[in-house]
Homo-oligomer: A and B are copies of this chain.
């Protein structure tokens, strides 16, 4: 799957990304090519490897995230306050970015691209994705007045289409007609795979529910596409610096959420009240997934992210058969076939330069 070629011919914003970035980034261990002459095929191969690695990591992390959620539900109800967990996730992501940065500084020294110092111009856009996600999460509480949880899972597939549309409009990247067809199929396939005997209830969703689901999909898609725009705006900039600034605002917003929603609980019962072993596993997983999302935004794009999380959803179901004795439905098989064909078509339909 060579996703590079689908980019718009007019803007090639990561044209300047150097192969050396591979070695700078933590989590990745691509064989060093810095001693060799920078031949284009080497560059392309290294980029392809890096892209595949981050995509693979995102798929596995997203899938295990869903499995941890099922596991924690089976173990009992959420006892901890979600806002404190979210805050810890952002803090952990910040810490990991700083550790990775410190390693880079030790090996390469401080450069313009990896210094933490920033300008107001650079940093002013970083709170926007976090703010968008906050609004989306707030809306999430209200949508359940109109839709039940399984129905919401189905409506969430609007995210796929909204990401594609906003990717085209905001990032001005072109998808071929075949790739658009593939994207429609991805949406239909994911939804089909999630069908169960109660799914038809979702058709009785009142208009307010549909509107909110579409608004939430647009917010989520916009946040994703906006993050990609921020991260790719300065391709040579170290990803860990970019992540640090993204996550520091995430910490801020989540600190406000603790104060607003769970201040009493934290003061009376303590910050870590109700935390279990699984809770900590989930926090670590969320933090790593978040970093993987950033990496996919940097080295691939939102389209790859959507495909990656869709495959993760299918993978989760298959793994759940072995872990929890779940049964796979005929709808799941059909959805998997459609998603697989969609992946093939996305690759076969890439715009040739």
Contacts and interface: CB of A to CB of B under 8 A. Distances in A.
Interface of A: 154, 177-178, 181, 184-185, 188-189, 191-192, 195, 197, 199-200, 202-203, 327, 329-331, 334-335, 337-338, 341, 344-345, 348-349
Nearest to A190: B334
A202 to B, nearest CB: 6
Given A188-B338, A337-B188, A338-B338, A330 B181 contact: no
Given A192-B331, A334-B188, A348 B178 contact: yes
Contacts of A178: 178, 345, 348-349
Contact of A345 (B181, B189, B202, B335): B181
The 3 closest A-B pairs by CB, nearest first: A197-B197, A188-B337, A192-B334
B184 A330 contact: no
A137 to B, nearest CB: 26
Contacts of A330: 154, 191, 195, 199-200, 202-203
Contacts of A184: 337, 341
A334 to B, nearest CB: 5
Contacts of A188: 334, 337-338, 341
A47 to B, nearest CB: 26
